Structure 1
């Protein structure tokens, strides 16, 4: 019986060792699985971080593109507004250019000396029309360019002759042959002038 008892104990000890070995194998397997999970988790985290970085870069690029488009649109609006203001400011330029020769004709006609009352009356009527024309042009922003006694300015004056006159300084307008006009700050027609040498 002692032998049976020893054999039974031996079997139990072997079973315990196997169970203990099984536990250690299971623990090792579990540790290996956990290490694999952690490694996969670390790989997944790295992949996700890379994906987030790519998406952030794409987002930044799109935001920059939107900012550029907004800036371009603001520039377009500002440029359009400026163009509209310029068009509005100089809208009457063409009509003024067409009226100036008629105004010149009025001024030449008004320089004649009346021979009788009838001619005097006609000249007075022409003066009234000329004055109304000048007032209408002035309301639109038309100004006469000053010439005689002014220093010659090629942006305002067109020199057609040079003379020597000691009563004027050099490069000064001596005589105006045709009036010049500006519309606001733009020269419509330069003054035709004689300039002292």
Structure 2
């Protein structure tokens, strides 16, 4: 009969809520009420929210770092392209005054064969220098008869000439040069009022 009593006790229906913990041993069923599951659930929800926030912050940092790196690579590439494009700028800046001197020398009138021969040699050297600069992308800025542009021209005088419209370059006093799309030296010009 004691076996039947134990079986009857084990078969007894026990109403267990979510807040209760059940411990089963060989001969008995013990019901223990506990507040720990609620506290554990709250703690785990807080922990999940905290971890999600940290994950989101880490993802944002990673995206910002990637964007900074992409910007750095793009800037470096553009700087390298500009350096390659304008690599001859300092050399051109130093050669331009020599071209000015060659042009002045070529304006001399030759009165004998020796002077003519010397001028011909100077002309040949001048042409080679101009050709070498053109191969690097250097070109003279057109001025006379052009509309005055402060990006390419430096006005040093103004004149009144009825043969030209207003704000037109009348005379070039010193040649200007540009390397590809960058002005190395603006043209010094006279401008009509």
* Shorter-chain TM-score range: 0.7 to 0.9
Aligned residue runs from structure 1 range 5-154, under 5 A: 23=9, 33-34=21-22, 36=32, 39-154=35-150
1:169–1:39 CA distance, 2 compared to 1 (3 A): same
Higher alpha-carbon Rg? 1
Q: Structure 1: how far apart are the matches of 2:33 and 2:181?
A: 80
In the superposition, the TM-score normalised over structure 2's length comes to: 0.83
What's the RMSD between the two structures over aligned residues?
Answer: 2.8
Secondary structure (helix, strand or coil) at the match of 2:40 reads: helix
Secondary structure (helix, strand or coil) at the match of 1:113 reads: coil
Q: Counterpart in 1 of 2:180?
A: 184
- What do residues 48-68 of structure 1 show as CA deviations (whole Å, max 9, x unaligned)? 222122111111110110010
How far residue 130 of structure 1 moved from its aligned partner, in angstroms, is: 0.3
Larger fraction in strand:
2
1:133–1:37 CA distance, 2 compared to 1 (3 A): farther
Q: Structure 2: how far apart are the matches of 1:28 and 1:119?
A: 127
1:67–1:61 CA distance, 2 compared to 1 (3 A): same
Structure 2: gaps (5+ residues): 23-30
Structure 1: gaps (5+ residues): 1-14
In the superposition, the TM-score normalised over structure 1's length comes to: 0.81
How far residue 80 of structure 1 moved from its aligned partner, in angstroms, is: 1.2
1:56–1:117 CA distance, 2 compared to 1 (3 A): same
| 1:158 equivalent among 146, 154, 164 | 154
Secondary structure (helix, strand or coil) at the match of 2:139 reads: strand
Q: Structure 2: how far apart are the matches of 1:134 and 1:160?
A: 26
Q: Structure 2: how far apart are the matches of 1:59 and 1:176?
A: 67
